[in-house]
Structure 1
Amino acid sequence: MHAFAALLDRLIYTRSRNAKLRLIADYLKATPDPDRGWAMAALTGALDLPAVKPAIIRAIVDERVDPVLFRLSRDYVGDTAETVSLIWPDPPAPPQGDVDLGLSGIIERLATLSRSDAPGVLADLLDRLAPEERFALLKMATGALRIGVSARLAKTALAQGFGLDVEAVEEVWHGLKPPYDALFAWAEGRGDQPSAADLPVFRPFMLAHPLEDEQVSMDDFAAEWKWDGIRVQLVHVAGQTRLYSRTGDDITHSFPEVAAAFVHAGVLDGELLVRGEAQAGGLDVAGAASFNALQQRLGRKAVSAKMLADYPAFVRLYDILFDGAEDVRALGWHERRARLEGFMPRLDPERFDLSALIAAESFTALEELRAGARDAAIEGVMLKRRDSPYVTGRRVGLWYKWKRDPLVADCVLMYAQRGSGKRSSFYSDFTFGCWTESGELLPVGKAYFGFTDEELKWLDRFVRGHTLNRFGPVREVEKTLVLEVAFDSIHESRRHKSGLAMRFPRIARIRTDKPAAEADRIETLRRMVS
């Protein structure tokens, strides 16, 4: 456990991507099986210890430490694992018995626990470990590392450390399970490359670069709408169907009707949406509701008949990766598009349709269409080079995303909350509101990005100097500061007192020049509802 804890500690304080890659690669080469496999599971978010929950951690800390002291410390530190690792007291008597404190020994012990046994076992481990090891244990157990390492970066480090192609690692990754014995046997030349044949595994998505100020030729690029749902991959092989999110999470159980309708061998890429009315001012984009409707279905382990009826899901298809058993990713986009169009007649039109191409003779014409598209389900435009193969990740010059211009509103700062990690000493999460006709200020959104480091320091000073009330880590402030808030869209919401919910709000500008009484009204925002 000590080596893994040291790795996490060094990764947290390492900014350079290349340095992070070297640290992980060196650890994987120096660490034996199965510890390194469990470490990879933790770094990539593939480790599942269902008996260990944040509530259990809080409960055992409350038994050992003054609860008020712990909450004040947690508020200051900004991270539960770090606070517990530092505040955990020495046990009244040395722990009895021998316990395997290696990484694999701890994981194997925690993985077999019942909910009732978890508190005692976790407390016993914390008694036996040093502070840095406690931190690693709690981060690993709750699945919230937050150390600046993505799953892709960890896999890239593995590939570089053992001289493998990272795309080959990605290809077989989702067909393997921790602690990845077969993967490391292949990496060290002791075994064959694992095969994903006959398994409904996830393949990493092709992604797009933002289109900045450049223009592209419509002779070289095709355009289609960028839909505001969630990107999904449909896989059917050997009689099995899986539905994966962009991060590779299996979401089949949340959308069983979509999975049940995909019964032909292949792998398709598309946008998961909910049926809705056309709202696009005559544009040929009918059929999709706002993201707010889709959100009612996300994350549900069981879906009721009413939910299926009220929020019927479907997939708007973008691309094809496998046509039957044939891998077509190396073909150009225009060839894959023809394959996808040929695949469409096999699919249920109730659950699948094809993302239409935008007929624009020039980039200027496309710009005009994009500017006029304010449909609830449209985020902007996608531009795809006609000869581009389907490759993992973002490749310069192949695909571009051109988001529509954001909406903006002047809102009044109401509440602020401390951030986490490197922002734990600053008030960096801001709730803001707009006025009703009767003069009441109602919250309309919350944002924690969009501002510079210097603006964060200024906002933090404002919060501390204009606090009205304290509610744990939250402060209510004087209603005097106007923030210009940018957001992608706004929707009706029963969960919010204002009746509105913003999509991707961010703070665009601090309006010290504008009196709070002149901030926008709820009715102004309501007229922006898609």
Structure 2
Amino acid sequence: MRVFSQLLDRLSLEPRRLAKEALLVRYFQETPDPERGYALAALTGELKFKHAKPAVLKALIAERSDETLFALSYDFVGDLSETIALMWPAPSDYGASAVREQIELTGVVDALETAGKTDAPRLISTWLDQLDETGRWAVLKLVTGGLRVGVSARLAKTALARLGDLSVSDIEEVWFGLKPPYETLFAWAEGKGERPDNLDPAPFRPVMLAHPLDADRDPDQLEATDFAVEWKWDGIRIQAAAGETRDEQKVRRLFSRTGEDISRGFPDVLDALNFNGCIDGELLVMEGGKVRPFGDLQKRLNRKTAGPKLLKEFPAAIRAYDLLSLNGEDLRPFPFDERRRRLEAFVADIDHPRIDLSPLVPATTWEDITEARNTPESRLDKEDAAAVEGLMLKRWDTVYTGGRPKGLWYKWKREPHLIDAVLMYAQRGHGKRSSFYSDYTFGLWRAAETGDELVPVGKAYFGFTDEELQQIDKFVRGNTTNRFGPVREVAYSKDHGLVLEVAFEGLNRSSRHKSGVAMRFPRISRLRWDKPAGEADRLETLEKLLNPVRVASS
């Protein structure tokens, strides 16, 4: 565990994305199989231990420490693994380095995967007795399944791709269906083996993303007739994949745009996937073909399962944008107009109320496009118009490419008073909120000499529900990197952090703020658990709003 724990320790202290990537590349290069494969599995959240749960850890530390002292320490530290690692009493014979050297990641994983319910606590306590503080912390992080070192699954896969000439999209293409310790995957990445066979009948495909439209420049440089125009719905982007195994077992999966399998939370949608293929679309709560507010969908997000009451009150459905594969044929190399034609026929053929077609917007000029963006209610019924965030523009001749290629897809949001920001600091509230971190400072990305950095742009302390407050408070406690009196700094980077959609009434230029702007009446509009921190907005986006936004004179 020594090398792995040192890696986690350095990753947790390193704020720069490229530096984290370099640490991972070096670790993968210098660490043999299967050790590095299990490390990759841990970093990507692929290790699950049936009988090693947080409750087991709490019971173990309760046997070795005062209950009140632990509760106070846990509240102060905010992280279970860190608290136990710091409080675990060292045995009298501690210092037997020869024994500690024998504990390696592979052995820990193998033991936990085969351990029975009574074996797991004994194994964990033995390891904690034999390891130093950092090693204990690493084992506990591994057991709880939440490393929280600022490394996303995509960043870990990017580092793996850098072992050779692959791209992260190449890795993601074969990822689903492979199991730790990924020896064939590492061999392929290093040019020592063939591309692994992906036998998964319902894999995740790397998602194609859009660039924000620059309304001051792009219409003068782009031909409106080159683009299909779609409504941008206020839900979450998903992929719905279905297929059959070799023994004709049906497999259905629902993925977020980052590749997280969210199937268990949406059994009503899975039931609709009676096809062999993959569609790209928007997950919405819909009733009678009409889109309901995003708040209704939010009640179903971040849940492992959905009970009958929730399914009945908030029925989910897919509004389809694209068809990526069908009956074994990969459609991504085809231009969008061909994929769209097949999508229309596909949706009509399956004829299911849980899957409908996102309509194209009739628009052949920039005047048409602008009018549709500003007044969707003139083209849609009231419910659907209220669920429109803006427009998507997709070149008719575009093949489907993972990532965010330039000049192909654009998004043009309707509402300029909304930004996606990253949570940077949290402070305890007052009164009934005194036990919660409820005051949030958030920031946007901007260019700096060492790369992109987050700069604070505002602070908000309302706009969220009590349930959301508890969710944010849990995130703050579990991702604290620094403390300044009552304020906690949380982990944030391109690949890790909590994105907040912030609504505000106006802007003022301000010399008192590091960002140079001051928001009027900012509030949390919603939590973007589905959005990576690296995709939050930039300070330039906010600065462009200074001219069109009417602000009160100070």
TM-score (norm 2): 0.70
Match of 2:274 among 256, 263, 269: 263
**Correspondence for 1:331:** 334
Shift of 1:40: 0.5
- CA distance in 1 between partners of 2:468 and 2:25 (Å): 42
Following the alignment from structure 1 to structure 2, what is the Cα–Cα distance between the partners of residues 147 and 384? 36
The superposition leaves residues 77-136 of structure 1 with CA deviations (integer Å, 9 ceiling, x where unpaired) of 443322322222213566999795110111122223344543333222211111111121
Note closer, same or farther for the CA distance 1:55–1:347 as it changes in structure 2 (3 Å cut): same
Tell which deviates more after alignment, 154-163 or 17-26. 17-26
2:449 is matched with: none
1:75 Cα deviation (Å)? 4.0
How far is 1:154 from its partner? 1.0
Question: Partners in 1 of 2:5 and 2:484 — Cα distance?
Answer: 32
What is aligned with 1:176?
178
Q: 172-181 or 68-77: which moved more?
A: 68-77
From the superposition, tell whether residues 249 and 166 of structure 1 become closer, same or farther in structure 2 (CA, over 3 Å).
closer
The CA deviation at 1:57 is: 2.4
Separation (CA, whole Å) in 1 of partners of 2:43 and 2:110: 17
Structure-1 separation of matches of 2:4 and 2:466: 43
2:314 pairs with 1:314: no
Amino acid at match of 1:132: T
1:206 maps to what in 2? 208
457, 460, 485: which one aligns with 2:522? 485
Could you tell me which residue of structure 1 aligns to residue 549 of structure 2?
none
Map of 1:109 onto structure 2: 111
SS of 1:29's partner is helix
What is the match of residue 476 of structure 2?
Answer: none
Cα distance 1:357–1:186, how it changes in 2: closer, same or farther (>3 A)? same
The correspondence of residues 150-165 of structure 1 with structure 2, limited to 5 A, is 150-165=152-167
CA contact (8 A) 2:185 2:195 kept: yes
Q: Quick check: 1:237 aligned with 2:248? A: no
1:412-433: CA deviation from partner (whole Å, max 9, x where unpaired): x7546459xx99xxxx997437
**1:485 partner letter:** P
1:241-278 Cα distance to aligned partner (Å, 9 max, x none): 3222223233334333433332332211111222236x
> For 1:169, what is the secondary structure of its paired residue?
helix
Instruction: Structure 1: give runs of 5+ residues left out of the alignment.
Output: 278-285, 435-441, 450-458, 465-481, 491-503, 510-530
For residues 445 and 348 of structure 1, the distance between their equivalents in structure 2, rounded to whole angstroms, comes to 36
In the other structure, the counterpart of 1:138 is 140
Say yes or no: does 1:272 pair with 2:283.
yes
Partner of 1:83: 83
Question: Which residue in the other structure is 1:353 paired with?
Answer: 356
Q: 1:296 to 1:35 in 2, by over 3 A?
A: same
The AA in structure 1 aligned to 2:346 is F
Q: 1:381 aligns with which of 385, 388, 391?
A: 391
Taking the aligned partners of 2:437 and 2:175, their CA distance within structure 1 comes to 37
Return 191-200 or 120-129, whichever deviates more.
191-200
What residue number does 1:524 align with? none
**Alignment partners' CA distance in 2, 1:461 and 1:137:** 30
1:293 and 2:296 aligned: yes
Letter in 1 for 2:266: F
Name the CA distance, whole Å, in 1 between partners of 2:182 and 2:209: 27
Query: Matches of 2:46 and 2:467 in 1, distance apart?
Result: 35
> How far apart, CA to CA, are the structure 1 residues paired with 2:298 and 2:398?
32
1:35 is matched with 35
Kept after mapping to 2: 8 A contact 1:236/1:263:
yes
Name the counterpart of 2:452. none
Partner Cα distance (2:145, 2:93) in 1: 30
Contact between 1:255 and 1:313, CA under 8 Å: does it hold in 2?
A: yes
In structure 1, what is the Cα distance between the partners aligned to 2:259 and 2:412? 24
The equivalent of 1:19 in structure 2 is 19
- Alignment match, 1:432: 462
Write the mapping of 1:409-488 to structure 2, written as runs, cut at 5 A: 414=430, 415=433, 417-418=436-437, 431-432=461-462, 446=469, 484-488=521-525
Q: Tell me, what secondary structure is at the counterpart of 2:522? A: strand
Task: Report deviation, 1:302.
Answer: 5.3
One-letter code aligned to 1:405: E
Distance 1:180 1:310, change over 3 A: same
The number of aligned residues is 442
Amino acid at match of 1:155: K
Partner SS, residue 272 of structure 1? strand
1:215-226 matched pairs, under 5 angstroms: 215-216=218-219, 217=222, 218-226=224-232
Moved more, 15-24 or 321-330: 15-24
3-state secondary structure, aligned to 1:353:
strand
Q: Who is 1:401 aligned against?
A: 411
- SS of 1:64's equivalent? coil
Q: What is the one-letter code of the residue matched to 1:337?
A: R
What secondary structure sits across from 1:393 in the alignment?
coil
Deviation at 1:198, TM superposition (A): 6.0
Distance in 1 separating the partners of 2:309 and 2:388: 26
- State the Cα distance separating 1:402 from its structure 2 match: 2.9
Contact 1:432 1:443 in 2 (8 A): no
User: Does residue 1:47 correspond to 2:57, yes or no?
Assistant: no
Please tell me whether residue 392 in structure 1 is matched to residue 402 in structure 2. Answer: yes
CA 1:489 to 1:103, structure 2 compared with 1: closer, same or farther past 3 Å?
closer
**Matches of 2:39 and 2:5, distance apart in 1:** 10
The structural deviation recorded for 1:340 is 1.3
Alpha-carbon deviation of 1:298?
4.1
Q: Distance in 2 between matches of 1:135 and 1:371?
A: 53
1:58 maps to what in 2? 58
Q: Shift in Å at residue 176 of structure 1?
A: 0.3
Q: TM-score, normalised by structure 1?
A: 0.72
Name the counterpart of 1:500: none
Instruction: Spell out the pairing of 1:476-515 with structure 2 (5 A cutoff).
Output: 484-488=521-525
Q: Distance in 1 between matches of 2:414 and 2:114?
A: 49
Q: Deviations over 1:293-340 (max 9, x none)?
A: 334444555555554443333211011111322212122222221221
Asked if 1 retains the 8 angstrom alpha-carbon contact of 2:45 and 2:153, the reply is yes
Kept in 2, the 8 Å contact 1:241–1:263? The answer is no
* CA distance in structure 2 between the aligned counterparts of 1:462 and 1:253, rounded to whole angstroms: 38
Taking only the aligned residue pairs, the percentage that are identical comes to 44
Check 1:95–1:291 CA distance in 2 against 1; reply closer, same or farther (3 A cut): farther
